[in-house]
Amino acid sequence: MARDYRYGPAQKAGYQRKSQQAPTPNNAQPSQRPLSSKGFVWLILGLSLVLALGFYVTNHFKQHGPKSQWSQDALRDEALALEALAHESTKPTESSAPAVVVEPVATPEVAASVTEPSRPSFRFYEDLPRLATVTDVQPLPVQLPEPLWIQAGSFRHLEQAQREQRRLSTEDRVMQIAPIETANGKFYRIVIGPYTDRLKLNQHRNELRRFGADTRVVKIAPQVINN
């Protein structure tokens, strides 16, 4: 490409340090005006005045507003009520008069009966002879008026009666078998006797009961089968 040399060759700019170069408009920073000490002092004073004014206004409404007026009236009424109550309490009344308490004095007889209650007396052994009654009942004689027998069971079959006879018989007590005819047929009874001594009769009967026999006393002499 051809160059234009009408005005001569372009001159080269000389070397300059960065510190010597003038700042461009784009890089130039706006100048800031430093805050003076007088302005700072006036700012502090203004804030103090605003705070003082706010405190005064709130305190004024708190003391002289409607709420404070109502509280003062309530305190005044309460003070008047307390004064009236104290004035009424100083007046002498019938209820304030000391009550006279009358204590009953017990007589010596009543006091003795209260302090020493009567103790129940147990006189059983003293009253027993007086309560005893005499009867005309005579004791039963030991000797029986007629011979009696002891029946220790009744069986329909002879074999059953013989087994029970062997079970109940001992050396001192010999059981016997006595048949009897009834409307229901023939039965075999196990008997022992006769007894003329009441004590002996009761003794053998109690022994048979201990062996489980159903005992009863009969008066008619049974027809004993001889073994």
Instruction: Return the pLDDT at 22.
Output: 56
Whether 150 contacts 215, CB under 8 Å = yes
CATH of domain 144-218: 3.30.70.1070
Answer for the pair 217, 198: CB distance below 8 angstroms, yes or no.
Answer: no
Q: Is the peptide bond before 194 cis (omega within 30 degrees of 0)?
A: yes
Peptide bond between residue 179 and the one before it cis (omega within 30 degrees of 0): no
Which positions of the chain have pLDDT values less than 70?
1-36, 62-72, 88-122, 124-140, 226-227
pTM score, two decimals? 0.39
Q: What is the pLDDT of residue 28?
A: 46
Which uninterrupted H or E stretch holds 158? helix 158-168
